[in-house]
Structure 1
Amino acid sequence: MYRKEFLKEMGTSLFQTMKNVYEPFIHDDLQKVEEVMDQTLGIKWVPLMSSDDSSSKLEMKFINGSPIMVIRDGANIHVLSGICHECSNIITVTTLYSTGKCFNCEKEYNFKTKQGDLSLKTIPVKKKDHVIYIGFDKEKKLGGFSA
């Protein structure tokens, strides 16, 4: 082995060793930062469902009395508030046509084509230990509206 190859291998090994030693500490620090950010923003994580749950692609659920829409797009899961952002009424979901409609202000959204005039509020989602959690305001507000 030439000196140049030896020094290159030593550098790679040293970097890998340092990475293996400090990785648990960095992971713990990142979890602490995440917890502090959640407390600062006032987000409380509530379990929604198991990540292995393969129900329909679009469904309406009620969490703590607040309606939410769960949309599955392959492996991705999107969660939206089930309350109309314009008039604060519950959105009616039609799973057959993959649409949501507010009957008060007559606005509609198609989840297949991703088109429509109904404005929807996104709810934060995270996956941990095969469970999907949604984040809502600690003041019992889900999706920006009182529960």
Structure 2
Amino acid sequence: MKKSITLFFLLVISCAVYSQSSVRQKTLVQKDSIKKSKMAIEIEEKKLDSLVAVLGVFKPFKKAAHASYYADKFNGRRTTSGTKFDNNKYTAAHKKLPFGTKVRVTNEKNGKWVVVEITDRGPFVKSREIDLSKRAFMDITSNRGSGGMLVTIEVLNK
């Protein structure tokens, strides 16, 4: 009799533990799928933002402008607009264009272009018109060893 009661309790306990673990697994799967769906929504929003920037109408601003890129020592520092500079983002510095302006910069040699956002002031050299983040510069340059290139600058009209 004692053995059957003991076996019964063990069976009840094991069933309870099994059911709790399956509930935990289901909730983990649900939480994980929620995280994935939030991430998918964020990615879709970013795609939409970049599509709006690309599909917009660009007004010519300057041709044959000299462009250079930020040195690595500026990575992590604050820009004039107050944001933290990241050499892996598509940002740029211009002397006069307002902060937040979307600009298409086209390499005149090979026709490659990027859309960047103005977040800083500069360059502080008279012969240069725009400073690009390193990622933006390397995406459009034809010679990765060069420090400058001639570009066409176009401003996005909203």
Which structure has greater strand proportion?
A: 1
Bigger Rg, which one: 2
Which structure has greater helix proportion?
A: 2
TM-score (norm: length of structure 1): 0.31
TM-score (norm: length of structure 2): 0.29
